[in-house]
A and B are shown apart, each in its own frame.
Chain A
Amino acid sequence: MPLTLERRMEPSRTANILVPILSVLLALVAGGVLLWLVGVNPIETYKAMLHGAFGSAYAISETLVRATPLMLTGLAVSVAFRMLFWNIGAEGQLAMGAFAASGVALFLPKLVPGISAWWLLPAMLVGGFVGGALWALIPAMLKAFLSVNEIITTLMLNYVAILWIQYLYYGPWKDPLGFGFPGTAPFVDAAWLPRLKDTAWLPQLFNTGRLHWGLALAIVAAFVVWLILGRTRWGYEIKIIGENPRAARYAGISIVRNILLVMILSGGLAGLAGFVQVAGISHRLQQGIAVGDGYTAIIIAWLARLNPFGVLLVALLMAALFVGGDQIQISMGLPAAMAGVLQGAILFFVLGGNFFTQYRIRWTSRQAAVIGHQ
């Protein structure tokens, strides 16, 4: 084979910044060709998307609302990926977090009548975290003690979790006053995450829309993850395991212990995304909680190169793509799949570009290729 791949010694800084930008542009061009083939004006479509996502205070608020669970699940996945634990189960962990937070919201006020939001919301938050963490602990223990492949177990447990919450809101937890609508009874007011527009001391900027304090939670979570990974002994251990498990073992780092701890954090963060969705948006457990954010999170984590602040940014862009995509369905009459195609194109190009920041392709003579084989 005259073509050989060579790992670059050090990916250059400019390439690291330039390549993703160039990739997104190329993706837009490729998507544009598709749009043009479908018979719409690509420029107009992109404009409409941009407007839909960022064109008004309300649009921005919707984009941020959409971004919040993506941020949390993106962080969840990137923490696990740092250690090369392939947690594909953020979706299920989100569902279990939503389940646990809903359970607290539905039943705690009955036990403690008149409970204030100051107690109920933190209890739901802890519930959401614990729900996701315990769910993630199942594949973590299987991996740590029995070496069961976590990709399979985390993925399969997603279906279990999603069907479990469906069973609840179609069955025992269904609102008897809900006219047959699949969902629990609405939470008491104390279980609602306050909206930013209802928060008096914030500037007028946020005086519209559904944007709630979950966004702040996601930003704090990113900061905490950054602190753990970059500044603590634990984060150092996670990085060593992720880079070279054998070196970690050699340095006396317990891989079993770290798998369990990291998955508690990862599952907990995904569980928080579930909490945010039920407490901030739906105010009940119902259909439409688990809509694939746990899978989009994988894309986000990779595009952000597992950097927590990068996750915030990429989640925001993904959310814009979702919200803008919804918008072009309405304003341009395009099929919903078109937004999906654009997302796919962007991912394809960015990951492809990423490859070229780390490798280069070289033509080599046969002789050299044979030596390279050694």
Chain B
Amino acid sequence: MTSLPLAVEMRGITKVFPGVMANENVDLEVRAGEIHALLGENGAGKSTLMNILAGLYRQEAGEVWLHGQLAQIHSPSDAIRLGVGMVHQHFKLVDSQTVAENVILGLKQPAFRLDMKRTAREIKELGQRYKMAVDPDAYIWQLGVGEQQRVEILKTLYRNADILILDEPTAVLTPQESEELGHTLRRMVQEPATRGHAGNKAVIFITHKLDEVVRFSDRVTVLRGGKVEATLDTAGSSKADLARLMVGRTVVFQVAKPPFQSHVTPELRQEVLFAVKDLHALNDKGLPALNGVSLEVHAGEILGIAGVAGNGQRELAQSITGLRKATKGQVLVRCGGIQGVLKEVTNHTPHQIIDDGLSYVPANRLGTGLAGNLPISSNLILKDYRKEPLSRGPFLDRTSIGRFAERLIGAFQISTPSAERPVRLLSGGNLQKVILAREITAGKAMLVAVNPTRGLDVGATESVQRTLLEQRAQGAGVLLVSEDLDELLAICDRIAVMYEGRVMGVMPAQDANRDEMGLMMAGEHIQPEA
């Protein structure tokens, strides 16, 4: 194996985005004729690294060598010229055009006359060679997701790509399609490279699924926090090793998680505040996103949901809050706080569920949680504007709203010169404070929060975490979805791990084992049921 020539060599790549070191001194070697997996959690820097190789980003430091030659990749067209093709997670196809038209889109040749018949024939031959049957005359909108991906791959092959990059190629595929893709990739790396380069074509695929690494790849490079953890032969490494490398072993920082306060009695802690039973739901593409999730959140508890993004966490939060239709199963909510009764609210409207006292901190602050151009005060009343004294009859009471806004701005230390400033001008931490202030004030002890600290600096993160812990101390039940294991371990009472719309296991946070969690996040069964 070692005698294979190198197709890609990236040396000391560093890429900085404002406030984030996306890649730090990354070395990557991909041999000609191998399938190379790039493994890591969300935000580990995998996509950034590949976008540099594909010419979408420029690195701040470091060199890219292709087939033993220093390459200057300034743009995607440079990359294509040098034989690098990338299939993005979100396909870049024109729906209203045919497969053949999409394949030749952007090509400089032919300059004048398009011979679509010839192109179609060539695409067909290419498809037959790689056993990827696609009708060149079909329109993109007629194709399923798996077929569209094949078009993307054909596009790169048609441009004689010798290095094919796939960004999370199986995220949108069914298991059968994934299997087929694996075969296609294998066939590719058995083809000789063009342009007179030595060796065969090479494939790099980005993933966070251990299973795929083991099934498809020859070698694997594990990234964590923008740095390379290791590059290994797949054959010689276990899933457990890979999981440990992926999740890492950073020192767990500790926000002091206070013991339960006296007024949250042990009896109270037995009370279920809200729950889901065998919940099923579809994602935006109409594919199953939740496949029978059952969870209970008790009073005075933070239940964490761990998992790699896209495994149903978002859909879970939306189904509980009435924003996504549950196709099967139940959502139960204790209306009227701890003294209330548990009742079924499955597929009730968001309005009804808000009235039942369930609060929601959505993942996308400005996208879902706020109306950016409206003043802070308007955003603070978003959940309470229907109630007295903020409104009387059909009219809003502007004096009360002003007082209400000032009170929350003070209580949550939202730093702004005025409550009438457009909310989008606030910093991320202050945006989150606006949402938390509103949700906690509106709610009655039930909170669903999705990635509430993502993108926040240390101070803001701590303030958000402290707020959640305060809620817990007051007897609230919190469902905290987070991609940050450290955070979950620090502030949760119990942690559930989700993978492909299922709960892989639930464990008390103090017993949680990072290695096991990493494996569960990657789809491995550790314990039968918890």
Contact = CB atoms under 8 A, between A and B. Distances in A.
Interface of A: 9-10, 231-234, 236, 239-240, 243-244, 246-254, 367, 370-371, 373-374
Contacts, number: 78
Contacts of B386: 233
B371 A240 contact: yes
B351 A250 contact: no
Contacts of A10: 422, 425
A248 B351 CA distance: 10
Contacts of A240: 371, 374, 378, 382
Nearest to A235: B396
Contacts of A244: 367-368, 370-372
Contacts of A253: 351
Contacts of A243: 371-374
A249 B323 contact: yes
21 contacts: A10-B422, A231-B398, A232-B395, A239-B371, A239-B378, A240-B374, A244-B371, A246-B367, A247-B368, A247-B369, A247-B382, A250-B323, A251-B383, A252-B322, A252-B353, A252-B354, A254-B349, A254-B351, A370-B58, A371-B17, A374-B57
Nearest to B362: A250
A247 B383 contact: no
B450 to A, nearest CB: 12
A367 B353 CA distance: 48
B391 interface: yes
Given A249-B323, A250-B323, A250-B360, 5 more contacts: A233-B395, A240-B371, A240-B378, A240-B382, A244-B367
B128 to A, nearest CB: 37
A236 B322 CA distance: 22
Contacts of B370: 244, 247
Nearest to A367: B58
Interface centre among A240, A248, A252 (most CB of B within 10 A): A252
Interface residues of B, number: 38
Given A10-B422, A233-B386, A239 B374 contact: yes
B196 interface: no
Interface centre among A9, A246, A254 (most CB of B within 10 A): A246
The SS class assigned to the A binding surface is helix
Q: Which 10 A-B pairs have the closest CB atoms?
A: A252-B351, A243-B371, A252-B350, A244-B371, A251-B382, A252-B354, A246-B368, A247-B371, A232-B394, A233-B391
A91 B381 CA distance: 37
Interface centre among A231, A233, A250, A367 (most CB of B within 10 A): A250
Contact of B396 (A233, A249, A252, A370): A233
Contacts of A370: 57-58
B394 A250 contact: no
Contacts of B373: 243
Nearest to A7: B424
Contacts of A252: 322, 349-355, 383
B22 to A, nearest CB: 9
Contacts of B371: 239-240, 243-244, 247-248
A9 B373 CA distance: 10
Contacts of A251: 350, 354, 382-383
A350 to B, nearest CB: 21
B158 interface: no
B396 A232 contact: yes
B130 interface: no
A232 B322 CA distance: 26
A250 to B, nearest CB: 5
Interface string B329-357: 00000000000000000000111111100
B260 interface: no
A236 B391 CA distance: 11
A9 B425 contact: yes
A233 B350 contact: no
Interface centre among B56, B321, B349, B371 (most CB of A within 10 A): B371
B385 interface: yes
Contacts of B350: 249-252
A370 B73 CA distance: 13
Contacts of B422: 10
Contacts of B353: 252
B149 to A, nearest CB: 24
Contacts of A373: 56-57
A248 B322 CA distance: 13
Contacts of A233: 385-386, 391, 394-396
A367 B74 CA distance: 10
A240 B371 CA distance: 6
Interface in B171-215: none
Nearest to A250: B368
Nearest to B438: A251
A233 B398 CA distance: 11
Nearest to B354: A252
Interface string B72-114: 0000000000000000000000000000000000000000000
A246 B365 CA distance: 11
Contacts of A248: 371
A370 B48 CA distance: 13
A371 B20 CA distance: 12
A205 B371 CA distance: 47
Contacts of B18: 371
A231 B395 contact: yes
Interface in B362-418: 362, 367-374, 378, 381-383, 385-386, 391, 394-396, 398
Contacts of B58: 367, 370
A253 B321 CA distance: 13
Nearest to A374: B17
Contact of A250 (B352, B355, B369): B369
Nearest to A240: B371
Contacts of A239: 371, 374, 378
Contacts of B323: 249-250
B127 to A, nearest CB: 32
A250 B362 CA distance: 9
A252 B425 CA distance: 25
A9 B372 CA distance: 12
Nearest to A237: B385
Contacts of B322: 252
Nearest to A243: B371
A117 B58 CA distance: 76
Contacts of A9: 425
A370 B382 CA distance: 37
A255 to B, nearest CB: 11
A246 B318 CA distance: 12
Contacts of B378: 236, 239-240
Contacts of B383: 251-252
Interface centre among B18, B395, B425 (most CB of A within 10 A): B395
A249 B352 CA distance: 12
B348 to A, nearest CB: 10
A250 B370 CA distance: 9
Contacts of B352: 252
Interface string B317-331: 000011100000000
Interface centre among A232, A233, A239, A254 (most CB of B within 10 A): A233
A234 B367 CA distance: 22
Given A247-B369, A251-B382, A370-B57, A234 B425 contact: no
Given A244-B371, A247-B368, A253-B351, A234 B394 contact: yes
Contacts of B360: 250
Contacts of A231: 395-396, 398
A239 B323 CA distance: 20
